[in-house]
Amino acid sequence: FIMLRSSKTFLEKTENKRPSIAVILGSGLTNFFDDKDISHSISYEKLTDFPQPTVQGHSGKLVLGSIHSRKVVCMYGRSHIYEGHDPKILAAPIRVLKDIGCKLLIVTNAAGSLIQDMPAGSLMAISDHINWSGYNPLIGKNDDDIGPRFPDMSDGYHQFYRNQLKKIAQQKNQQLFEGVYCMYSGPNFETPAEIKAAKVMGVSAVGMSTVPEVLVANHCSLPVIAISVITNLAAGMSKSKLTHQETLKNAALTEEKLINLIKSFVRDVKFNDTSRN
Ligand code: HPA
């Protein structure tokens, strides 16, 4: 099994510290670790397998720290298909997380809601997705050492870990919705007609990320859960126009709630070492 170069770089720089959990921060989310809990911070420029993010509100670094004495690595900033990257290269960072020892990936994103009663400021655990982006990072020659040609997605947002997340949210009295996430490529926000169609398909939230990472994680048997921060009602559902500024603003307003939930989860989660990893 051959490690990616960035995995070696990470392990060299951190003197072989292996995190058990990885977190990917979505748009407008920037404050995962308290400074005192950070042990290493590595810019994506030094990690040659990582595409460089180009959008405002997404910085690029991989940060190792500890949360309740568990080692956690956090991707501050991720790349999106709409930036023009070859979808294939979105796979590398996820494989690096697997290489360096992560047993669980927590993906976050900003999303628009298709449910009136799930307004901006809500948190939603993703139960499943519809890939309407037209892209797939697994297209191309398959490396059988990494995963199968035809990966199973019947438990793509691992129920074993999602159930624990739901229980922990309940204990904290933190409302946590659950629903299907639909990915559009962007960069435009969806049209009202697209949102109406997505409603018919059973979608609860829409966004422009997460699906590529989740596909790659499942392919390499890295269990994953994902949480959407609802930043707006989707197109056509309210009078206001959609803007990236609103996304960033509302994500920032909800950040503390989300980070608290994730930190409690990191503290309490029990690993299922006999599961599919
Ligand atoms: N659509 C797509 N992506 C988004 C949205 C939305 O309404 N809000 C935040 N990210």
For residue 128, give every residue at least 6 positions away whose Cβ sits within 8 Å of its Cβ, in sequence order, or none.
156, 157, 180, 181
pLDDT of residue 250: 86
Say if residues 57 and 244 touch (Cβ distance below 8 Å): yes
Question: In this model, does residue 191 exceed pLDDT 90?
Answer: yes
φ/ψ region of 211 (left if φ > 0, alpha if ψ in -120 to 50, else beta) reads alpha
For residue 29, how far is the Cα from the chain centroid?
11
Which protein residue's CA is at the shortest distance from atom 10 of ligand 1? Answer: 111
Cα-flanking dihedrals φ and ψ of residue 258, to 5°? Answer: -65, -45
pLDDT at 274 over 70: no
Atom number of ligand 1 nearest to Cα 233? 7
Distance between CA atoms of 43 and 209, rounded to whole angstroms? 21
- Segment (H or E) for 182: strand 177-183
Which atom of ligand 1 is least distant from the CA of 234?
7
- pLDDT confidence tier of residue 71, bands split at 50, 70 and 90: very high
Contact 182, 134 (CB under 8 A): no
Mean pLDDT highest for which of 29-43, 73-87, 219-233? 219-233
pLDDT over 90, % of the chain: 83
- 276 — pLDDT class (breaks 50, 70, 90): very low
pLDDT value at residue 277: 42
The atom of ligand 1 lying closest to the CA of 232 is: 8
| Preceding amide of 187 cis, omega within 30 | yes
SS3 per-residue string spanning 88-149: HHHHHHHHHHHHCCCCEEEEEEEEEECCCCCCCCCEEEEEEEEECCCCCCCCCCCCCCCCCC
The two structure tokens encoding residue 44: 């994506």
Share of the chain above pLDDT 70, in %: 96
The pLDDT, as a whole number, for residue 54 is 76
Ligand 1, CB within 6 Å, residue ranges: 110-112, 189-190, 206-208, 231-232, 234, 242, 247
C-alpha 209: how far from chain center: 8
Cα–Cα distance, 83 to 54 (Å, whole number): 7
- Pocket test of ligand 1: the residue of 129, 188, 190 to mutate, having most ligand atoms within 8 Å of its CB, is 190
Residue 29: per-residue pLDDT:
83
Residue of 107, 126, 189 to test ligand 1 pocket, by largest number of atoms within 8 Å of CB: 189
Range with the lowest mean pLDDT among 13-27, 50-64, 218-232? 50-64
Which protein residue has the closest C-alpha to ligand 1 atom 2? 207
User: How many angstroms separate the alpha carbon of residue 162 from the centre of ligand 1?
Assistant: 23
pLDDT of the residue at 56: 61
**Active-site amino acid positions:** 27, 58, 80, 82-83, 110, 208-209, 232, 244
Identity of the residue numbered 239: K
pTM more than 0.75? yes
Per-residue pLDDT, 200 = 98
Beta bridge partners of residue 70, listed in sequence order: 67
In tens, the pLDDT along 234-253 reads 999 998 899 998 888 888 88
CA 111 to ligand 1 centroid distance, Å: 4
For residue range 205-222, list pLDDT tens digits in order. Answer: 999 999 999 999 999 999
- Helix ranges (H only) for the chain are 5-13, 91-99, 159-171, 192-200, 211-219, 244-268
Ligand 1 atom with the smallest distance to the CA of 251 is 9
What is the radius of gyration, based on Cα positions, of the chain? 17
> In angstroms, what is the span from residue 91 Cα to ligand 1's centroid?
22
Q: How confident is the model at residue 154 (pLDDT cuts 50, 70, 90)?
A: very high
Tell me: pLDDT of 118 over 80. yes
- Residue-wise pLDDT for 91-111, tens only, equals 999 999 999 999 999 999 999
pLDDT higher than 90, residue 27: no
- Give residue 53's pLDDT: 72
